[in-house]
Amino acid sequence: MIYDVIILGGGPAGLSAAIYAGRARRSVLLIEKGAFGGQIIQSSGIENYPGSIERESGESLTGRMSAQAETFGAERVTDTVTGVLPEGKIKTLTGAKGKYEGRALIVATGAAPTRIGCPGESELTGRGVSYCATCDAAFFEGLPVYVVGGGDSAVEEAVYLAKFARNVTVIHRRDALRAAKYIQDAAFAEPKLSFIWNSAVTELHGDGLLESMTLKNVKTGEMTVIEADKADGTFGLFVFVGMSPMSELFDGLLDTENGYILTDEGMATNIPGVFAAGDVRKKLLRQVVTAAADGAIAAARAEKYLADLHC
Ligand code: NAP
């Protein structure tokens, strides 16, 4: 079958595109490699999506978006796409489960958490090192927890982790947070939360579990080793140092800047019939509300592209 619209990525941008394209009576295939909902499913409570006044979880909000996309006829498949031929009138994607063909393609692959990139990080991921507070906070009930980063994610999740941890220490490479003022206010008001400023994590150590880490004061060069209490044996390290766009599949095909796909305001890329929406796109503000808006615009533009082709 040749679909009118194939959407790659099942986060808020992809789901919103599926709702709009499905509602325009287009045949839609939504392909997602992991869980539908995107990275926001890791968020414990969303308070800035318009209408969300009850701090609904990301999983619940995107669950409703998924159900809505289905009511408009969007088909969904879980597959990892490894090849793409986006030029020409039929766009072809190849995944582990098969080949998918569509007349228009909306790329909504999102972004993934950036790693610190220090020795020991890969080996200790899932063994003390985490990139998702909602997923892993409960494992650190009553233990000390450290958070790396100074942006919205780091500070917001540090406040959330304080509900579980014995105490939470935010390690930031500067002496000022990047996080929004209202998020900072919540952090400074949290008695279990403290900060280590001007510091970077340079090495993680542990035999099976995270047991100690080395910090470097980036101003003085002083190195400090933080060790787990003997009684605890371990501690948690949550890393929130930004996101990297998941655009590798389109390397050399789509125009990008620092990996983020460049589009016009109609979400059109440099290839006719290929649109990009959400966090994978170069844009000013990466939020659920802007991802959903991108998806709606991309679907509307895809509709116009198909109509112009008399499809
Ligand atoms: P971000 O805004 O890019 O912040 C990344 C933080 O990590 C910065 O404080 C940065 O330090 C630090 N950092 C970067 N690389 C580092 C490294 N190698 N080692 C140590 N620290 C490093 O990322 P984010 O917080 O994940 O947010 C991503 C996007 O989602 C943003 O647009 C954000 O506004 C949005 N978001 C919004 C909300 C909300 O509205 N409630 C919640 C979460 C995320 P510097 O400050 O020194 O650069």
Beta strand residue intervals within the chain, DSSP E = 2-8, 28-32, 75-78, 81-85, 91-95, 99-107, 111-113, 129-130, 144-148, 167-171, 193-196, 199-205, 212-217, 223-227, 236-239, 243-245, 256-257, 260-261, 274-276
For position 53, what pLDDT does the model report? 87
Specify whether 118 is catalytic.
no
Q: What value does the mean pLDDT take over residues 79-100?
A: 97
Kindly state the DSSP code that residue 115 receives in the 8-state scheme: P
Domains 2-113+243-308 and 121-239 fall in the same CATH topology: yes
Alpha-carbon dihedral sign for residues 244, 164, 52, 170: negative
Q: How confident is the model at residue 245 (pLDDT cuts 50, 70, 90)?
A: very high
For position 47, what pLDDT does the model report? 80
- Identify whether the C-beta of residue 76 lies closer than 8 Å to the C-beta of residue 32: yes
Stated pTM of the model: 0.81
- Identify whether the C-beta of residue 7 lies closer than 8 Å to the C-beta of residue 287: no
For position 72, what pLDDT does the model report? 97
Residue 44 pLDDT greater than 80, yes or no: no
Look at phi and psi of residue 247 and say left if phi exceeds 0, alpha if psi is from -120 to 50, else beta: alpha
156 close to ligand 1 (CB < 6 Angstrom): yes
For position 147, what pLDDT does the model report? 98
Q: What value does the mean pLDDT take over residues 13-42?
A: 95
> Pairing between strand 91-95 and 99-107?
antiparallel
Residue 43 pLDDT greater than 90, yes or no: no
Residue type, 90: I
Topology of domain 121-239, CATH:
FAD/NAD(P)-binding domain (3.50.50)
Q: What value does the mean pLDDT take over residues 138-149?
A: 96
Residue 107 pLDDT greater than 90, yes or no: yes
Residue 293 pLDDT greater than 90, yes or no: yes
Residue 240 pLDDT greater than 80, yes or no: yes
CA-nearest residue for atom 7, ligand 1, is 241
153 close to ligand 1 (CB < 6 Angstrom): yes
Pocket test for ligand 1, best of 115, 173, 204, 244 (most atoms within 8 A of CB): 173
Measured in Å, residue 132 CA sits from the centre of ligand 1 at 14
- Dihedral (Cα; 276, 281, 284, 286), 10-degree rounding: 90
Q: What value does the mean pLDDT take over residues 291-300?
A: 98
For position 221, what pLDDT does the model report? 98
| Domain limits, the chain | 2-113+243-308, 121-239
For position 136, what pLDDT does the model report? 87
Provide the H-helix boundaries in the chain: 12-23, 58-71, 121-124, 133-136, 152-161, 181-188, 288-308
Distance between CA atoms of residues 160 and 162, nearest Å: 5
Measured in Å, residue 46 CA sits from the centre of ligand 1 at 17
Mean pLDDT of the chain: 96
Distance between CA atoms of residues 259 and 256, nearest Å: 5
Distance between CA atoms of residues 39 and 214, nearest Å: 29
Specify whether 132 is catalytic.
yes
Q: Which CATH number fits domain 2-113+243-308: 3.90.1150.10, 3.30.1490.20, 3.50.50.60, 3.30.1360.100?
A: 3.50.50.60
Q: How confident is the model at residue 52 (pLDDT cuts 50, 70, 90)?
A: confident
Alpha-carbon dihedral sign for residues 258, 260, 263, 264: negative
Residue 127 pLDDT greater than 90, yes or no: yes
Of residues 55 and 194, more confidently modeled: 194
Q: How confident is the model at residue 28 (pLDDT cuts 50, 70, 90)?
A: very high
Q: What value does the mean pLDDT take over residues 8-37?
A: 97
* Spatial CB neighbours of 18, under 8 Å, sequence gap ≥ 6: 7, 28, 30, 69, 72, 74, 295, 299
Q: What value does the mean pLDDT take over residues 268-284?
A: 97
Residue type, 157: E
Per the DSSP assignment, residues forming a β-bridge with 167 are 144
152 close to ligand 1 (CB < 6 Angstrom): yes
Measured in Å, residue 152 CA sits from the centre of ligand 1 at 6
Kindly state the DSSP code that residue 268 receives in the 8-state scheme: B
Residue 48 pLDDT greater than 90, yes or no: no
- Dihedral (Cα; 244, 37, 28, 106), 10-degree rounding: -20
Of residues 9 and 243, more confidently modeled: 9
For position 30, what pLDDT does the model report? 98
Residue 42 pLDDT greater than 80, yes or no: no
Closest listed residue to residue 170, CA positions, set 143, 141, 201, 142: 201
